[in-house]
């Protein structure tokens, strides 16, 4: 998710159109005056496009005739959601076109086709270990489930997954699709291609191939991936989604992708379907988008979305839509990431997950670090896939209950507007789902997992923070039994090296965890 654009970049009408490519998106800014605040805000909308619902009992023929008389055309009917994508007469602005549509006797509502953008912050150039998996205790969770028990697919409504990546190509399910942001028209994109790097990085966080002696591990080893591409190649720069401001998509294309996912839920090709939307737009959830979400949730799909990275007191759409689970970001020290949006909605339907410097898959078969709620969201979607694989009879609500009721409570006691129900804990979530209890030895004391730790085969040992010590400003240090400092860790995982990066010898080591609340000491046996 990207930090807010400067006022200068928002001060003019944005019109981007590339000849020969129907999917390129023109963007208009609509002024909206609030009498209550006396301020004018601006909404980005797809030029020449609107979303229209006709009144009950209006036939298709009558709707077409009424629109054509004023120069409008129905481009796509979304019968499942009860509304249509409508194109406007050439040269008619969105605001003026909406006024005409709303005045038609047959129209129940007419809404702008809002523009959504991929969400992230800038990347960190260094190559960290996957601290996030250790922070949420994924290593312990994998002892219960790795995601292969039952078919679950994470569908990314995003910029398109690079289908040739060695860690993602074997994980693809169903038929990848691309959606025209102007009309929502779908076409196959098989194998999937990337408009830019965003979806490829999100996909690796959720479900990169794991235990394959290559690159990185995804949260769910066995979950499949589906690429639902809603961004145009001509609008985005392949190696930087944010180098060109025109890299946006529309409400219609997002709804069209949701429509595709609904038809695949519980199918032989994909199994259970989880939608991840690491994109956003300011403002409330619109009626057309809420209509689409309502149908998806009624069908049984799970939907996760990035809370947003503007560091403001309300979360983005679609994260604020009813039925969509919102995910904020934490940093390496279990504090709220400085960019993560907050909202009272987090108290009822939100959680947080690591979202700073996550090492993941990248375009051109590579790897990169990524930051933002765009990557906290697929990490949580991957955890949902683990739970649903272990408990295929669970409903979407039961899966989220396992996530929220096992999260590590940070910030104010209980659910709050900053952390929601807390930072996800994969081990506790799996224990809760499988055994009915989230408790284990590490609930009340510092525990290393696995112990003994064999760096050659296990790579990282996870060091758990006792539940009653969960708090920001965490510090973890490794010592010899004689009290000599070996290494200060950046996260709750150790790779068996000292401060200089050299492997330590076999033996028993102490680790001390300190937070704002308390401190604890544990032991780990390292075997070379």
Active site residues: 158, 198, 374
Asked if 225 and 156 count as a contact pair (C-beta separation under 8 A), the reply is yes
The strand order across the sheet containing 177-179 reads 186-188, 177-179, 224-229, 152-158, 272-277, 302-306, 325-330, 350-354
Q: How many residues does the chain have?
A: 528
- 525 forms beta bridges with 508
Tokens of 254: 């997002």
Q: What DSSP state is assigned to residue 237?
A: B
What is the distance between the alpha carbons of residues 466 and 444, in angstroms, rounded to a whole number?
A: 5
Where are the extended beta strands (E) located within 371-481? Answer: 447-449, 461-464, 475-480
Residue 288: which region, alpha, beta or left (left: phi > 0; alpha: psi -120 to 50)?
alpha
- 185-223 burial string, b = 16+ CB within 10 Å, else e? bbeebeebbbbbbbbbbbbbbbbbbbeeeebbbbbbbbb
Cα separation, 92 vs 374, whole angstroms: 35
Structure token pair of residue 467? 């539940």
DSSP state for residue 354 in the 8-state scheme: E
- Angle 373-390/198-207 helices, nearest 10 degrees? 40
Across 424-435, b (16+ Cβ under 10 Å) vs e yields bbbbbbbbbbee
Do 345 and 409 form a contact (C-beta atoms < 8 A)? no
Q: How many CB atoms lie within 10 A of CB 412?
A: 10
Residue pair 134/463 in contact by the 8 Å Cβ criterion: yes
Token pair of 39, please? 């301020």
Q: Distance from CA of residue 304 to its chain's centroid? A: 6
Contact in structure between 2 and 92 (CB atoms under 8 Å): no
List the structure tokens of 221.
Answer: 């080893």
Which pair of tokens denotes residue 478?
Answer: 């490794």
**Distance, CA of 395 to CA of 293 (rounded, Å):** 16
Rounded distance between C-alpha atoms, residue 77 and residue 87, angstroms? 12
CA atoms within a 13 Å half-sphere pointing along the CA-CB vector of 338: 4
What is the C-alpha end-to-end distance of the chain, expressed in Å? 41
């Amino acid at each position: 998710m990207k930090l807010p654009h400067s006022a200068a970049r928002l001060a003019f009408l944005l019109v981007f159109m590339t000849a020969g490519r129907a999917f390129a998106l023109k963007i208009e800014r609509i002024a909206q005056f609030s009498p209550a605040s006396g301020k004018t805000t601006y909404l980005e909308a797809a030029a020449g496009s609107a979303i229209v619902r006709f009144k009950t009992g209006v036939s298709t023929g009558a709707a077409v005739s009424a629109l054509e008389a004023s120069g409008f055309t129905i481009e796509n009917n979304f019968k499942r959601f009860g509304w249509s994508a409508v194109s406007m007469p050439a040269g008619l602005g969105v605001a003026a076109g909406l006024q005409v549509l709303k005045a038609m006797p047959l129209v129940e509502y007419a809404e702008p086709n809002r523009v959504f953008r991929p969400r992230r912050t800038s990347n960190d150039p260094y190559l960290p270990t996957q601290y996030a998996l250790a922070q949420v205790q994924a290593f312990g969770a994998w002892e219960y489930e790795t995601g292969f028990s039952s078919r679950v697919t994470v569908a990314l409504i995003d910029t398109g997954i690079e289908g040739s990546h060695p860690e993602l190509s074997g994980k693809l399910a169903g038929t990848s699709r691309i959606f025209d942001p102007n009309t929502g028209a779908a076409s196959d994109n098989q194998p999937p291609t990337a408009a830019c790097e965003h979806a490829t990085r999100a996909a690796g966080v959720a479900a990169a191939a794991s235990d394959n002696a290559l690159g990185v591990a995804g949260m769910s080893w066995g979950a499949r991936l589906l690429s639902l591409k809603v961004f145009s190649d001509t609008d985005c720069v392949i190696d930087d989604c944010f180098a060109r401001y025109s890299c946006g998509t529309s409400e219609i294309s997002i709804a069209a992708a949701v429509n595709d996912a609904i038809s695949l839920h519980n199918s032989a090709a994909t199994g259970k379907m989880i939608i991840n939307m690491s994109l956003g737009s300011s403002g409330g959830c619109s009626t057309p988008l809420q209509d689409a979400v309502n149908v998806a949730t009624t069908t049984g799909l799970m939907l996760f979305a990035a809370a947003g990275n503007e560091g403001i007191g309300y979360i983005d759409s679609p994260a604020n839509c009813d039925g969509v689970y919102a995910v904020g970001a934490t940093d390496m020290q279990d504090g709220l990431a400085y960019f993560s949006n907050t909202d009272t909605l987090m108290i009822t339907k939100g959680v947080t997950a690591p979202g700073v410097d996550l090492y993941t898959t990248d375009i051109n078969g590579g790897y990169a670090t990524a930051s933002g709620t765009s990557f906290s969201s697929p990490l949580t979607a991957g955890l949902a896939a683990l739970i649903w694989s272990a408990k295929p009879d669970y409903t979407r609500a039961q899966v989220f209950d396992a996530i929220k009721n096992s999260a590590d409570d940070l910030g104010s006691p209980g659910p709050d507007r900053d952390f929601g129900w807390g930072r996800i804990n994969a081990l506790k979530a799996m224990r809760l789902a499988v055994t009915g209890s989230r408790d284990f030895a590490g609930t009340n004391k510092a525990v290393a997992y696995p112990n003994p730790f064999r760096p050659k085969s296990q790579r990282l040992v996870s060091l758990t923070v006792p539940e009653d010590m969960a708090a920001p400003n965490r510090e973890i240090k490794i010592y010899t039994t004689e009290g000599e400092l070996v290494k200060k860790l950046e996260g709750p995982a150790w790779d068996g090296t000292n401060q200089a990066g050299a492997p330590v010898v076999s033996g028993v080591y102490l680790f001390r965890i300190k937070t704002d609340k308390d401190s604890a000491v544990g032991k780990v046996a390292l075997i070379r």
